[in-house]
Copies of this chain bind each other. A is one copy, B any other.
Amino acid sequence: MYDSVKGFRDFYPEEMGSRRWAMDTIEDTAQRYGFREIGTPALEPTEMYTDKSGEEIVEELYSFEDKGGREVALTPELTPTVARMMVAKQQELQKPIKWVSTRPFWRYEQVQQGRFREFYQTNVDIFGSSEPDADAEILAVAVDMLDDLGLDNDDFEIRVSHRDILSGLLESFDADVDTREAIRAVDKRAKVDRDEYLDALYEAGLSYDDAEAFDDLLETGEDDLDTLADRSETVADATENLRAVLAAADDFGVRDQLTLSLSTARGLDYYTGVVFECFDATGEVSRSVFGGGRYDDLIEGFGGQPTPAVGFAPGHATLQLLCERAGVWPEEALETDYYVLQVGDTRSTAARIARDLREQGHVVETDIADRSFGAQMGYADNVNAETVVIVGERDLEDDEITLKEMDDGEQVAVPVDEFPGDRDRPTFEDFAE
């Protein structure tokens, strides 16, 4: 007996059914906005990652030399691949480009609750528009996905911030600040105690007094946002951009679901404008459900032409945690519309009925293992068949079959020639007196 590889999961049908529902639901949301599905490879040249992130990234990669001597890696994220694809067709692709895809990615990291080495994400990105409307459309898709999953507005909170407000504020202090370092400290603000946080800002170059002052500025609410503008031109431009994004989000009908939160920083270095993170409103799911934002320099960094970009990538493990907490995750159970049960030599009639029902689009099983009546009933129950169509030799002598509802056990005899007939979904009710 073999074990699966650590951090890699098997999904049996019950769990897979719920996951498929979630994947289909959020892909459908994106597709209604005109995001187009792409298909991408599992392997890329390792240098695609090391050129940009340095050799140390290899520690987090599943990388190896293939039989032809190529250094390759299992893709840890989608962006470098997408950059490569855009370079390959840069003459043909008309902008803005709106792409969506759901697939696994792989990272060699610590396995913990909700974090695996093989993990599934739906990537949603717009390339080629630097307009606030593009940022706002990404926010609108995010909100609509959650809505389509059955979540209410008070189930989640989307916290919106802007990288250039953070970096502009940091640069407005009379100090030599490492803004990347400081923004990483802000990203960890809620996870560490206050002293550690202030120490980190100090390490990044702020005095302790400035660190306190900077932190006070992060508490600025939406109404006072304009008071920040006089700190610097960078901050003024960024607040104007953020306001424009929020105004577009208002037109797009999702403004109420967004909360200004300057202390939302996103840990990753590559963001350049609006950033956001989605949280469980109850805090029960303690980590960020997903996040995203604008990353105007990244495509060029991966060898593409300068291309403004904004996007997000919900991970299906954390999305599931939020849905479960909110009680909207579907029951992990099989669904079967009909089980056609054979008693005696009734296969040809049973097969005809199964075929007719399948042609109507129903999920229909029948006996393919020569089982007894009881064993077939047990199987039908196991796959949660809603209706069992009993095709028995003796019934057929009277040109009848029996419909049995599995939830209440009620049953009715039905003329075999009238079933299923042209009813869309014939059940007990259609034939009971």
Contact = CB atoms under 8 A, between A and B. Distances in A.
Given A1-B303, A3-B45, A382 B94 contact: yes
Q: How large is the interface on A (under 10, 10 to 19, 20 to 34, 35 or more residues)?
A: 35 or more
Interface in A51-105: 59, 62, 64-68, 70, 72, 74, 80-81, 84-85, 87-89, 94-96, 98-99, 104
Interface in A127-166: 128-129, 131, 133-134, 136-137, 144
Given A6-B68, A87-B1, A253-B351, A11 B40 contact: yes
> Looking at A10, A16, A336, A362, which has the most chain B CB atoms within 10 Å of its CB?
A10
A48 B2 contact: yes
A106 B365 contact: no
* Dominant secondary structure at the A interface: mixed
Nearest to A349: B251
A117 to B, nearest CB: 8
B13 A347 contact: no
A133 B17 contact: no
Contact of A37 (B13, B118, B144): B13
Contacts of A251: 347-348, 351-352
Interface string A32-44: 1110111111111
Contact of A42 (B44, B80, B106, B351): B106
Nearest to A45: B2
A389 to B, nearest CB: 14
Contacts of A44: 2, 4-5
A358 interface: yes
B48 A6 contact: no
Contacts of A189: none
Given A39-B19, A334-B36, A5 B45 contact: yes
A4 B6 CA distance: 28
Interface string A355-374: 10010011111011110000
Contacts of A39: 9-11, 15-16, 19
A68 B128 CA distance: 41
A38 B13 contact: yes
A80 B10 CA distance: 13
B118 A33 contact: no
14 contacts: A5-B43, A5-B45, A8-B42, A9-B39, A10-B38, A11-B39, A12-B38, A20-B37, A32-B362, A43-B118, A64-B64, A94-B382, A96-B369, A133-B367
Interface of A: 1-6, 8-13, 15-17, 19-20, 31-34, 36-45, 47-48, 59, 62, 64-68, 70, 72, 74, 80-81, 84-85, 87-89, 94-96, 98-99, 104, 106, 108, 118, 126, 128-129, 131, 133-134, 136-137, 144, 248, 251-253, 302-303, 334, 336, 347-348, 351-352, 355, 358, 361-365, 367-370, 378-379, 382-383
- Lowest 5 CB-CB distances: which A-B pairs, in order? A11-B39, A64-B64, A13-B36, A34-B365, A8-B41
